[in-house]
């Protein structure tokens, strides 16, 4: 088996291949590695996140070279405009949030969008790494708690209840932003 020969680096290879257009079962691989070797949980999460970020580079190059034409061929005009607006407002979050979500979220469309809308390359890599780090950390913790079958369960829940999941994530994001703004406001109100 290929993963046996790759050892602890199998997570990196699969995450890289998944992001570089191939579509691999990266969540199942991360869950299996974490479940079998709990002591290296953080290592697997970091390596999978790094592999995913670096594996997105070829798609970024395709989007950068192919421009809008490549992206417009794959999505409707309305969706193109929504993605463009989200990158104009908060480009880091526009890429990080989709990076946190498991399939069937069409993450590669957002990677192409980052290139088309000329997101800085450093920010591009950081946003993907951060989004994947959150995703794989949550997956690793759920795997330790429930076992590797959680991958199938979360995939099913996400597919069947995508709007509820996205709504809950949006609500959590808004609440986090409100709490952060309140903290900043209180700091400004205090005597310096």
pLDDT at 68: 82
Nearest C-alpha neighbor of 30 from the set 21, 20, 41: 41
pLDDT at 123: 95
Per-residue pLDDT reduced to its tens digit, 32-54:
889 888 899 999 999 999 999 99
pTM above 0.85, yes or no: no
Measured distance CA(15)–CA(64) in Å, rounded: 22
Q: How far is CA 85 from the centre of its chain?
A: 19
The answer to whether the beta carbons of residues 10 and 130 sit under 8 Å apart is no
Measured distance CA(74)–CA(184) in Å, rounded: 41
Q: Return the number of other C-beta atoms located less than 10 Å from residue 8's C-beta.
A: 12
In the predicted model, residues of the chain with pLDDT beneath 70 are: 1-5, 150-166, 169-170, 189-192
């Amino acid at each position: 088996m290929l993963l046996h020969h790759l050892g602890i680096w199998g997570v990196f290879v699969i995450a890289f291949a998944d992001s570089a257009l191939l579509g691999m079962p990266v969540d199942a691989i991360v869950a299996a590695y974490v479940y079998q070797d709990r002591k290296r949980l953080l290592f697997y999460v970091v390596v999978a996140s790094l592999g995913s970020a670096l594996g997105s580079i070829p798609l970024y190059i395709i989007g950068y070279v192919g421009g809008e034409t490549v992206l417009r061929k794959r999505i409707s005009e309305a969706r193109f405009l929504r993605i463009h607006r989200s990158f104009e407002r908060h480009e880091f979050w526009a890429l990080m949030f989709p990076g946190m979500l498991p399939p069937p979220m069409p993450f590669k469309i957002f990677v192409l969008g980052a290139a088309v809308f000329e997101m800085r390359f450093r920010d591009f890599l950081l946003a993907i790494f951060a989004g994947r780090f959150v995703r794989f950390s949550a997956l690793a913790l759920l795997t330790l708690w429930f076992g590797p079958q959680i991958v199938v369960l979360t995939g099913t829940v996400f597919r069947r209840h995508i709007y509820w999941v996205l709504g809950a994530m949006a609500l959590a994001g808004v609440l986090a932003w409100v709490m952060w703004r309140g903290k900043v406001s209180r700091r400004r109100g205090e005597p310096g």
